Amino acid sequence: MQNKHLLSINDLSRSEVQSLFATAQELKSLRNKRIPHRRLEGHTLAMIFEKPSLRTRATFEIGIFQLGGQAVYFQPHDIRLGVRETVADVAHNMERWFDLIMCRVFTNQTVRTLAENSRVPVINGLCDKEHPCQALTDLFTIQEHMETLSGRTLAFIGDGNNVAHSLMLLCAKVGMDFNLACPPGYEPDPDIVMQAESIAAATGSHLRVSNDPVAMAKGADVLYADVWVSMGQEDEAQDRLKIFQPYQINQQLLNYAHPNARVMHCLPAHRGEEITDEVIDGKQSIVFDQAENRLHVQKAIMVTLLDACP
């Protein structure tokens, strides 16, 4: 990877995505065979959390351990980025102690400021604009189940949020069609859409944004759900639950997709809201394959970033 940080899907070329997937597959195979693969022996990972998480913390912490390294977890009140001290000063300290910094934070600006002031790789574990680790995991999982990505269609049903942004950019990059169904007023960032359309023009993929969930689900190879109320949006919860009700992934909507379509959710799931029990626990669901693969893909990200360091 020419860029030493992973802040956005835009930091990756198509060939780098495929290389990362190959590394993830190799590491997953080694793990499943219980073959030691301590590729990052002696390396350290700082994990900065402004938002709590099950999957992000578990998979990064276990991942660096399996690779022979060690993680230090900073919970939301340990650092108080930008309050107790500046984000730049935090980066300047951590680059002296750690080989990698992963951050799960509220704003994209925090991610960018950490990277601008760090000589070691910074990984965006989630911010308000993108969730690149999740999107990479999702397409890796689809590739495992469907072999090829090019020409497939992923239909994201719900909010035009950070996960939708990263998925849109990544689908465009690998030649996969991306449909997004969202309520009026909850469309994705226009700048992200423009970037994705520019990428899609070169790869031949198609992007569609609509307020009609049925139209977006028709014939899709993957239906994808995310929560309707994210952390920090609690004050909007009552309105959002009403507005998003027609965007639930249930058996009726799944019936419009390809007969062999898969169902995905980045978790945590609010069962009975954005997705029903019948669908998330059904035979077409690969939700928990996604959750497992966060471990393998993020291990590949860490290995790839450190291999690229001088």
Apex 116 CA angle, 114 and 117, nearest 5:
65
250-271 mean pLDDT: 97
183-190 mean pLDDT: 97
104 is catalytic: yes
Q: Given this model, what pLDDT does residue 234 score?
A: 79
Structure-model confidence comparison of residues 227 and 308, the more confident one: 227
Q: Given this model, what pLDDT does residue 1 score?
A: 61
134 is catalytic: yes
What's domain 9-131+294-307's superfamily in CATH?
Aspartate/ornithine carbamoyltransferase (3.40.50.1370)
Q: Residue 81 above 90 pLDDT? A: no
| Whole-structure pTM value | 0.96
Q: Give the rounded percent of residues in the chain with a pLDDT score beyond 90.
A: 92
Q: Given this model, what pLDDT does residue 52 score?
A: 87
Q: Residue 38 above 70 pLDDT? A: yes
238 is catalytic: no
Q: Give the rounded percent of residues in the chain with a pLDDT score beyond 70.
A: 98
> Where residue 77 falls among pLDDT bands split at 50, 70, 90?
confident
2 is catalytic: no
Q: Given this model, what pLDDT does residue 80 score?
A: 86
Catalytic residue among 112, 128, 134, 221: 134
pLDDT per residue as tens digits for the range 189-221: 999 999 999 999 999 999 999 999 999 999 999
Q: Residue 310 above 80 pLDDT? A: no
Catalytic residue among 99, 266, 290, 296: 266
84 is catalytic: no
252 is catalytic: no
Catalytic residue among 55, 112, 131, 296: 131
Q: Residue 162 above 80 pLDDT? A: yes
HEC string of the chain equals CCCCCECCHHHCCHHHHHHHHHHHHHHHHHHHCCCCCCCCCCCEEEEEECCCCCHHHHHHHHHHHHCCCEEEEECHHHHCECCCECHHHHHHHHHHHCCEEEEECCCHHHHHHHHHCCCCCEEEEECCCCCHHHHHHHHHHHHHHHCCCCCCEEEEECCCCHHHHHHHHHHHHHCCEEEEECCCCCCCCHHHHHHHHHHHHHHCCCEEEECCHHHHHCCCCEEEECCCCCCCCHHHHHHHHHHCHHHCECHHHHCCCCCCCEEEECCCCCECCCECHHHHCCCCECHHHHHHHHHHHHHHHHHHHHHCCC
Catalytic residue among 55, 143, 226, 296: 226
Catalytic residue among 265, 294, 296, 298: 294
Q: Given this model, what pLDDT does residue 61 score?
A: 98
263-288 mean pLDDT: 97
Q: Given this model, what pLDDT does residue 49 score?
A: 97
97-118 mean pLDDT: 97
146-170 mean pLDDT: 97
230-246 mean pLDDT: 87
Q: Residue 42 above 70 pLDDT? A: yes
Do the two domains 9-131+294-307 and 134-290 of this chain adopt the same fold? yes
Q: Given this model, what pLDDT does residue 230 score?
A: 78
| Mean pLDDT, rounded, of the chain | 96
Please report, for the chain, the start and end positions of each structural domain, with discontinuous segments joined by +: 9-131+294-307, 134-290
In what side-by-side order are the strands of the sheet with 70-74?
A: 70-74, 44-49, 100-104, 122-126
The residue among 110, 125, 106, 107 whose CA lies nearest residue 46 is: 125
Query: Class of 134-290 per CATH?
Result: alpha beta
8-23 mean pLDDT: 97
Catalytic residue among 104, 112, 262, 265: 104
Q: Which of 75-89, 92-106, 132-146, 293-307 has the lowest mean pLDDT?
A: 75-89
> Where residue 286 falls among pLDDT bands split at 50, 70, 90?
very high
Q: Residue 254 above 70 pLDDT? A: yes
Q: Given this model, what pLDDT does residue 297 score?
A: 98
Residue 300, CA atoms < 13 Å, CB-side half-sphere: 26
Identify whether the C-beta of residue 224 lies closer than 8 Å to the C-beta of residue 186: no
Q: Residue 16 above 70 pLDDT? A: yes
